[in-house]
Structure 1
Amino acid sequence: MSVRDVAEFILRSRGEMTAMKLQKLVYYSQAWSLVWDERPMFAEPIQAWANGPVCRSLYSAHHKQFSVAAGNIIPPDAQPKLDEKAIGTINAVLNFYGDKSAQWLSDLTHMEAPWILARKRAGVKEGEPSEEEILLSDMHEYYSGIQAANTTQQ
């Protein structure tokens, strides 16, 4: 599985969206896969850019596009290579985050530890560029904590 497969599945499920929103939905798919499936969904790193998490290899597929449609990431006649666990996780992410705006998702990532920690490691201020990787271990620890907190509250 690759980040492009995840992005294409999201686009085919939800339709055209801004590149920023697509990046954030891919990020949350990776994060929750680490917690629920106990594995990364894809190998490509995610970086802590000024507007939130961005996977550079996905960015190169939609560079200079404000809005991205299905068929722009992988050819329309190709099927995203995802297993059932990945599809289930992406669908759960889309059910929770899918109706949120790109700005809302970006703002949310700015309040969460994985992006904050990467930005601190890079030593950059708000709005400054950074290519610091968001560590999978930081993502797993943070989102596992959210899941645990939600489980104990119910």
Structure 2
Amino acid sequence: MAYSTIAVANTILELAEKKSIEISPMKMQKLIYYAQAWYYFLNDEPLIDEHFSRWHYGPVIPSLYHKLKYYGANNITSKIGDLEFIDNDAVFVEPVIKDNLIGQYLDKILEVYGSFSAQQLSNMTHQQGTAWALKGPDGSVITLEEMKLETE
């Protein structure tokens, strides 16, 4: 089951706060990128329900970029809200993942990648052999299969 990008991001924010890890928008993009790549490699199904695009600073989920661009290069200070429709009413929610196994998985991603800066993570996604580096025009979709090749 693929989760919403916002729910994954909010779960990462909760876990990061407990570990005193600061997360900027660019760092969040890269953490979710690695979470998606490894999850797909291990489970042969996606973690999130959106795709990454090739942008200048590496893989980006465009919708998440637009939700977080307010922060610029500063750290994210609160969970990300979204509108959901419940019984024909629009309700503002801050979704998180309740599945303990996914929480443990994301905690492991933070353990491995959380100490890197946003720029270090961006540099890592630019290395030869990465899905981003396979090139394609700016804005082109990075496929799950390309991401999987990177983890093998």
Q: Same fold (TM over 0.5)?
A: yes
Cα separation, 2, equivalents of 1:62 and 1:78: 14
Cα separation, 2, equivalents of 1:49 and 1:102: 15
**Selected match of 1:54 from 49, 60, 68:** 60
Q: What residue number does 2:87 align with?
A: none
Q: 1:5-154 maps to which residues of 2 (within 5 A)?
A: 5-15=7-17, 16-66=22-72, 67-71=75-79, 73-74=80-81, 78-111=94-127, 112-117=129-134, 120-122=135-137, 130-143=138-151, 145=152
Offset at 1:77? 6.8
Compare 76-85 and 92-101 and name the one that shifted more.
76-85
Cα separation, 2, equivalents of 1:37 and 1:11: 23
Structure with the bigger percentage of strand: 2
Cα separation, 2, equivalents of 1:4 and 1:79: 7
Cα separation, 2, equivalents of 1:43 and 1:103: 25
Count of residue pairs the alignment pairs up: 134
Give ranges in structure 1 of 5+ residues lacking alignment: 123-129, 146-154
Give ranges in structure 2 of 5+ residues lacking alignment: 83-91
Contact in 1 for aligned 2:54/2:136 (Cα 8 Å): no
Cα separation, 1, equivalents of 2:53 and 2:30: 11
Cα separation, 1, equivalents of 2:70 and 2:81: 17
Contact in 2 for aligned 1:114/1:134 (Cα 8 Å): yes
- The alignment yields a C-alpha RMSD, in angstroms, of 1.9
Offset at 1:83? 2.9
Aligned residue for 2:131, secondary structure, equals helix
Q: What residue number does 1:4 align with?
A: 6
Task: Provide the TM-score with structure 1 as the length reference.
Answer: 0.78
Task: Provide the TM-score with structure 2 as the length reference.
Answer: 0.79
Q: Cα 1:82–1:51, aligned 2, differ >3 Å: closer, same or farther?
A: farther
